Amino acid sequence: MYFLHFIRTICKLIIISFTKLKQSEKWGVAYLKALEIKYNGNFDPALIKKVARYQSIQLHYVANTFSGLYNRKNNKAEIERNIQYFLMTVLYDELTDDVKMDDQRVFEISYHPQTVVPVNFKERVLVAMHLGLIAQVPDAQEYWEVVKQVHLAQKDSAKQFDAQIILEELIDITQRKGGYSLLMCRHYLIDPNNKQVDNCWYHLGGLIQLTNDLYDTYKDTMEGIYTFANTQNDIANIEMIYAQQKLLFKKSIESLPVSNYTKQQFAINTSIIPAFGDIAINQLKELQINSTSLPNFNQIPRKSLIIDMERMINKYRLIKYAYKNGKLWM
């Protein structure tokens, strides 16, 4: 019975939220502190907090969920590769965005890290993480193809500063940026290679990226970044786009080479992710009440676009939407 299956699984996720997440974050901070000693430097406190938190969330709600398809959890080496991935991506973003590293340097670090001579602490760590992950993936050629797609999507994302960008291109960039970034993480696990499972990683990544865009509506608008969430005049369009991505993810779950029970378990474990997006859409709907279109996001207060997950109503909605999203078969 779906109701009981959902309740059992959600209770386990709640227990993880109150126990395992903090333990993994604490471990993550200690791991990063050890890297500071090893590579003779210091991370910004905000970076340590961000990487420790994100690697913990992904470990328990994504990586272990995929390994659960094979009735197991991530081992020590996989957990370390998970945090190495997040550290690598955050450092890459900082070096390319903040320092404005030239294209040639970016190319060398991305595709020829073995020949790079690091010039500072961040580069030393970035190159070490990159080389370490390359050395551990089981299929280097396939991994490099995904890396190339990630960089292509990141390059194309520069088009999101253009007010003339069309919706179809926005969605395509968003799906590829999120999809391939998450698909990289599949290569850090020891589970067997499978196209249906890869497809599931990819569509979940796209869903996560669209969800992030919904939560970053205020920030993106202020920074002049155009996304599916801040370029539509009607909330119905935003809801439709998000529903289409949820459907792609759902269909990828249904195609997994596992039993129906395991598919349902996987769907419930990941149901919280689109539930967060549904909450954001619900809040945007309130901005269109008694109007035929959404307001100009540049002209409304920040609090109207910030989703407060500490509110009891949003916690209730999270479970409500998760229940709906997790059900594969009616």
How far, in Å, CA of 204 to CA of 97, rounded? 26
How many other CB atoms are found less than 10 A from the CB of residue 287?
15
pLDDT of residue 102: 80
Residue 81, CA distances (Å) to 63, 88, 173 in order: 11, 10, 26
pLDDT of residue 76: 97
Span 70-119, pLDDT tens digits: 999 999 999 999 999 999 999 988 887 665 678 888 889 999 999 999 99
Segments in the chain below pLDDT 50: none
pLDDT of residue 330: 53
Residue 128, CA distances (Å) to 85, 97, 103, 122, 188 in order: 11, 20, 20, 10, 16
